[in-house]
Amino acid sequence: MAHTHPTFWLGTYTADGDGTGAGIVALTREDAGTLRPSFAHAAQSPSWLAVHPQHPVVYASEEFTGRVLALRSGGDALDAVGDTAVDAGVCHLSVAPDGRALVAANYGTGSVSWIPLRADGRFVGAAHVIEPAPRDPYGFDIDDDTGLASLSAPDAAARDPHAHHSLWLPNGLVVTTDLGFDLVRVWRPTASGLVHLQDVSLPRGVGPRHALWHESGHLHVLTEYSGEVFTLRFDESGALRVLAAVRATADSLENGDTGAEIAIGDRRDRLYAGIRGTNRLSTLEVRGDGTELRAIGDVESGGNWPRHHIVDGTLVHVAHQFSGDVATHRLDERTGIPCTVVGTVETGSATCLARAHVNIDS
């Protein structure tokens, strides 16, 4: 029987993380656009997955063991080819475009880890763990009348660092978010690791979670606690600056709403933000030179607690943690807003989706 290569890998929370998932689940797209599970590989709460850009190697962050796994895809199975210890609460991974290293964000300690890779995608040497900023930084406030930013004094309750995301940029730099310290951090990769260049403070308490790069030259950062999208850009001096902020939803946010994931698809003038709580998928229009965003529509995500989503051509797949499923929506051809739920597949406590590669080097 011919093997069907997975279209996506899905991470799930397992029993050690109070979840119902089986580990890493292989999903195949059906003709209708819905996803179908084909097999699962046992792992302990792999809350984030990343795929090597040249080889069929999948990396998984075991959030509660503090380890990162490397697994090679063989079509109908995943084979372990290595693991390495990083730090507590490892929650996100990103691979260098040239495949030379992984960057891991460690929510539990706030550290960022540099994990060197061999040419075939396997680990080489130990991970280099970079400790978080040594102090609780100042944030800033934005005056509602003038729109000007000013430093805010730290309040009595000190914050804890929570690194949450990393992103490799076209200019060769790496940015990470610190949800606890309200920071966007800028790094320069070197042969031996990351060199810290800059910290950009966001307003205190917004909680920067995930970011994406737009080809207009703007970095868009979704915040978890305030449900906003901040737009940043590098200025002529090479420093990253905050330009604007907008609510991620077309309708108002409600108590308990938190931002989860921000994504872009083939249509580059549309961004999609997941909102947990009221369980919405919001569509934002990119306007003008890319600086201005405007939320143009909210739809029900199709499940409970949309933790992650990925745009797949004219479809968007939404992974729900609490309802344990992936819902597939079709995008309206004219507006780009999700308009129809094509179907839902039960998966266990879903955490993230990653595109699978088909044996590029075999």
Q: What tens-digit pLDDT sequence spans the chain (362 residues)?
A: 344 689 999 999 999 999 999 999 999 999 999 999 999 999 999 999 999 999 999 999 999 999 999 999 987 899 999 999 999 899 999 999 999 999 999 999 999 999 999 999 999 989 999 998 766 666 555 455 544 444 454 454 678 999 999 999 999 999 999 999 999 999 999 988 999 999 999 999 999 999 999 999 999 999 999 999 999 999 999 999 999 999 999 999 999 999 999 999 999 999 999 999 999 999 999 999 999 999 999 999 999 999 999 999 999 999 999 999 999 999 999 999 999 999 999 999 999 999 997 544 43
pLDDT recorded at residue 135:
66
Distance CA 220, CA 226 (A): 14
Model confidence, pTM: 0.93
Name the burial class of residue 82, with classes exposed (0-12), middle (13-18) and buried (19+) by CB atoms within 10 angstroms of its CB: middle
pLDDT recorded at residue 144:
54
3-state secondary structure the chain: CCCCCCCEEEEECCHHHCCCCCCEEEEEECCCCCEEEEEEECCCCEEEEEECCCCCEEEEEECCCCEEEEEEECCCCEEEEEEEECCCCEEEEEECCCCCEEEEEECCCCCEEEEEECCCCCECCCCEEECCCCCCCCEEEECCCCCCEEEECCCCCCCCCCEEEEEECCCCCEEEEECCCCEEEEEEEECCEEEEEEEEECECCCCEEEEEEECCCEEEEEECCCCEEEEEEECCCCCEEEEEEEECCCCCCCCCCEEEEEEECCCCCEEEEEEECCCEEEEEEEECCCCEEEEEEEEECCCCCEEEEEEECCEEEEEECCCCEEEEEEECCCCCCEEEEEEEEECCCEEEEEECCCCCCC
Distance CA 309, CA 355 (A): 11
Name the burial class of residue 18, with classes exposed (0-12), middle (13-18) and buried (19+) by CB atoms within 10 angstroms of its CB: exposed
How far is residue 156 CA from its own chain's centroid? Answer: 31
Q: Taking a C-beta distance cutoff of 8 angstroms, is the pair 350, 21 a contact? A: yes
Nearest to 9 by CA among 357, 318, 262, 258: 357
Q: Taking a C-beta distance cutoff of 8 angstroms, is the pair 55, 49 a contact? A: no
pLDDT recorded at residue 149:
46
pLDDT recorded at residue 158:
79
- Dihedral sign computed on CA atoms, order 227, 291, 215, 295: positive
Nearest to 10 by CA among 362, 310, 211, 286: 310
pLDDT recorded at residue 139:
56
Both tokens assigned to 42: 């046992």
In DSSP terms, 297 is beta-bridged to 283
Which residues does 118 contact at the CB level (< 8 Å), separation at least 6? 124
pLDDT recorded at residue 361:
44
Q: Taking a C-beta distance cutoff of 8 angstroms, is the pair 359, 73 a contact? A: yes
